[in-house]
Amino acid sequence: MIYAFLNQKGGVGKTTLSIHTAAELALRGRRVLLIDADPQGSALAWSNCRETVDFTVVGMPKATIHKEIEMLAGDYDDVVIDGPPRVTELARSIILAADLVVVPLQPSQMDVWAASETIDLVREANVYKPDIGVCLVINRKIANTAIGRDVRTALKELGVPVLKSDIGQRVAFAETASTGSTVLPKRHSKASKEVKKLVNELRRLR
């Protein structure tokens, strides 16, 4: 299974969710490859700080991923791709490589607009590869706020599935970025439970 985390807007948490999805899949005994396809290389930088190597991370910010994905994925059960912001040939290549495009967004109108652009790219790619799936995941949600509730109403207009598994705005996620760790060792924490629910839902989609 090939999951691609994409949004044309930066700062929505693509890398955090990519890393945690890969880590959770690895904890379940899956052989996982995480491809850092963002020229900023944030996932690769995180990997260089890791103490525990439970899945493979490679950097590949090249617009040929869709041509090379079969060779890259050969030894793995799952591939997770951390994509770049902005509409680029690289983003289009990632979409063509993916089985499921996951669009993270924060609960704001600007993020909804950016998500719409990404969905349009997936629909363009469906002409060449009709079975590419797409879904939305709300990230960095602040609990018990009106905007956190109202964003789901706005997202209905985009006509694609919105995951029920929201990811909250939590310091724990930010703290893992510079330490090469994840929130998952604390299996009973709210952050860890959110990631587990997210991955459960992603796996049910395909």
pLDDT at 108: 77
- Distance (Å, rounded) from C-alpha 189 to C-alpha 181? 15
With beta carbons less than 8 A apart as the criterion, state whether 172 and 16 touch: no
Element containing residue 58 per DSSP (H, E): strand 56-59
In the chain, which residue ranges form alpha helices assigned H by DSSP? 14-27, 42-48, 65-73, 89-97, 109-125, 146-156, 171-176, 190-205
Look at residues 122, 89, 90, 88 and name the one whose alpha carbon lies nearest to residue 103: 122
pLDDT tens per residue across all 206 residues of the chain: 999 999 887 778 899 999 999 999 999 999 999 999 999 999 999 999 887 789 999 999 999 999 999 999 989 999 999 999 876 899 999 999 999 999 998 877 788 888 888 999 999 999 999 999 999 998 877 666 556 567 777 787 788 899 988 888 888 888 888 788 998 988 778 889 999 999 999 998 86
- Rounded to two decimals, the pTM is 0.92
- Distance (Å, rounded) from C-alpha 38 to C-alpha 61? 6
Element containing residue 100 per DSSP (H, E): strand 100-105
**Per-domain residue ranges of the chain:** 2-195
Residue with tokens 């994925």: 73
pLDDT at 86: 78
| 2-195 topology per CATH | Rossmann fold (3.40.50)
Q: What is the pLDDT of residues 33-65, one digit of tens each?
A: 999 999 999 999 999 988 778 999 999 999 999
What 3-state DSSP class applies to 17?
A: helix
pLDDT at 187: 78
pLDDT at 144: 60
